[in-house]
Amino acid sequence: MVKILGVCGSPRSGATEKMLSEALSSIGNVSGVETEWITVRGKKIAPCNNCNYCKREKTWCVIKDDMQELLEKFVEADAYVVASPVYVYTVTPQLLAFFSRMRPLFHVYPEKLRNKFGVAMATGGMRNGGQEMTVNTIINLLLAKGINVVSNEIGGYAGAMLWSKDKEALGAMEDDKAIESASKLVNKLAEVALIYDAGRKAVNV
């Protein structure tokens, strides 16, 4: 069984959450795949302060907040759908804090994210509101953790991008082309994850 985890980087329940849930539901009936999603909304996630505790003690982060629970789910998954609204032409501060707190995975447990896969999604209130830059930031965050990035189908390229017109979940559903692009993206992610899982089992790695 391959597990795909959605990560909603929005501090609100709106367009980004709707886009992510709609995309994940489109692969709900794919054999061999299960989905779940987590959100930073309402969570206390302090950013990494570079104290080097994890690196020095060869263990997990010393900061105790909601990150522990979220990171457990992240590590357990095989592939990721990371979505964020545009905040100042990039991802939300909450999502940046979330990824910054993965420092122990880099310094102590690098094997835990090896050969996993991820895709990027962004929502913006304007048609050209920074969605491409936000998608690129998410891609770089994934690459920084050693996660392989899966491209979208032709027409979507780097990821999925939605124009909400600042109408939250309703605006997300009105952008049917973006929802279709997001669904194609996560279905391609599921295909890649399944193929890798089958190959890994075939060579007994």
Structural domain span for residue 132: 2-202
pTM of the full structure:
0.94
Number of structural domains (the chain) is: 1
Residue 73 burial by Cβ neighbours in a 10 Å radius (0-12, 13-18, 19+) = middle
pLDDT digits (tens, 9 = 90+) for 10-32: 999 999 999 999 999 998 777 89
The CATH number of the domain holding residue 24 is: 3.40.50.360
Cα(108)–Cα(104) distance, rounded to whole angstroms? 5
Determine the average pLDDT of the residues in 100-109.
92
CA atoms within 13 A on the CB side of 74: 25
| pLDDT beyond 80 at 83 | yes
pLDDT digits (tens, 9 = 90+) for 35-64: 999 999 999 999 999 999 999 999 999 999
Q: What letter represents residue 119's amino acid? A: V
End-to-end CA distance of the chain: 16
pLDDT digits (tens, 9 = 90+) for 116-142: 999 999 999 998 899 999 999 999 999
pLDDT digits (tens, 9 = 90+) for 143-196: 999 999 999 888 778 999 999 999 999 988 999 999 999 999 999 999 999 999
Take residue 175 and report the two structure tokens written for it.
Answer: 């952008």
Q: How confident is the model at residue 84 (pLDDT cuts 50, 70, 90)?
A: very high
Cα(148)–Cα(162) distance, rounded to whole angstroms? 23
Q: What angle do CA 20, 22, 27 make, to 5 degrees?
A: 100
